Amino acid sequence: MMFFPSKTLNASNMETLIECQSEGDIKEHPLLASCESEDSICQLIEVKKRKKVLSWPFLMRRLSPASDFSGALETDLKASLFDQPLSIICGGSDTLPRPIQDILTILCLKGPSTEGIFRRAANEKARKELKEELNSGDVVDLESLPVHLLAVVFKDFLRSIPRKLLSSDLFEEWMGALEMQDEEDRIEALKQVADKLPRPNLLLLKHLVYVLHLISKNSEVNRMDSSNLAICIGPNMLTLENDQCLSFEAQKDLNNKVKTLVEFLIDNCFEIFGENIPVHSSITSVDSLEHTDSSGMECAII
């Protein structure tokens, strides 16, 4: 498959897309026409007050049928997916493994409209089978699977990262930054701690908090605001090295601290990480418009 540099969907032409509402308008705009056929994940909603437009590199291509990207899977996934440092499974390319890219893409597209995302459990047998398939590098049609199953397996993936995504070595620095009284100072301090993460960890963190932020902005539908999301996913992102030795009260205090940190990262992701997700993926195709809108916030994908 040949890939081409994608065009940028900026504020100007996004407004054009949003304002085109008739069938005639859609036919005159090829970007809208490509979107029209995928109503389930691509909704054009008139937005009175636009907030942020995210440049989402994983969505620069449509999710391919499993048979279409089997070669990429075999190339990208050089090691077991679970229980490995991100530096091992990402290699030297600063690109997340394809299964993780695809899961994040689906969570971005379907998560905002899915009630209880990251909170509800999944079928244990299906969970185990999917983890085994992903870990062995098998080709999996992720689009056909329940989104709750993907969310649970993604949490398992985070939990399996040695020293965790936010790095247990930086625990005290994260907490120290969070204790800054002035919000601007707190944000600046958190930026500095984030910059100390290994590059693959920082890359995944940026993409993850943007997905969580998007989901939280649609909490009236999915019942998962930033606080609920932080409770469900925070312990998988950061902990202490010897957390299994902590007393119940100490563990509870630890979880509360991590929850507060992750909630702040979700609520302030633009201020901490910027408005555009850096494109570290080589997947860019002109066959590419997926657009979902959530309460005035777009996951823009060109």
What angle, rounded to 10 degrees, do the helices at 248-267 and 171-178 form?
60
Lowest mean pLDDT among 23-37, 180-194, 261-275: 23-37
Q: What percent of the chain has pLDDT over 90?
A: 57
Lowest mean pLDDT among 16-20, 59-63, 203-207, 237-241: 16-20
pLDDT tops 70 at residue 63: no
Residues 6+ apart with CB under 8 A from 35: 17, 42, 44, 289, 290, 291
Mean local confidence (pLDDT), 51-59: 51
Q: In the prediction, which pLDDT does 241 show?
A: 83
Confidence of residue 122 (pLDDT cuts 50, 70, 90): very high
- Buried b vs exposed e over 202-219: b needs ≥16 C-beta within 10 Å? bbbbbbbbbbbbbbbbbb
Residues 6+ apart with CB under 8 A from 133: 140
Q: In the prediction, which pLDDT does 22 show?
A: 36
Confidence of residue 56 (pLDDT cuts 50, 70, 90): low
The total of other beta-carbon atoms located within 10 Å of residue 181's CB is: 6
- Paired residues of 295 in beta bridges: none
On average, the pLDDT of the chain sits at 75
User: Rg for the chain (alpha carbons), in Å?
Assistant: 19
Q: In the prediction, which pLDDT does 59 show?
A: 55
Q: In the prediction, which pLDDT does 38 show?
A: 33
Determine the 3-state secondary structure of 239 from DSSP: coil
Mean local confidence (pLDDT), 139-161: 96
Rank 42-56, 63-77, 132-146, 256-270 by mean pLDDT and report only the highest: 256-270
Q: In the prediction, which pLDDT does 13 show?
A: 38
Q: In the prediction, which pLDDT does 24 show?
A: 40
Of the candidates 163, 194, 165, the one whose C-alpha atom is nearest the C-alpha of residue 177 is 194
Q: What percent of the chain has pLDDT over 70?
A: 65
Cα 293–chain centre separation: 16
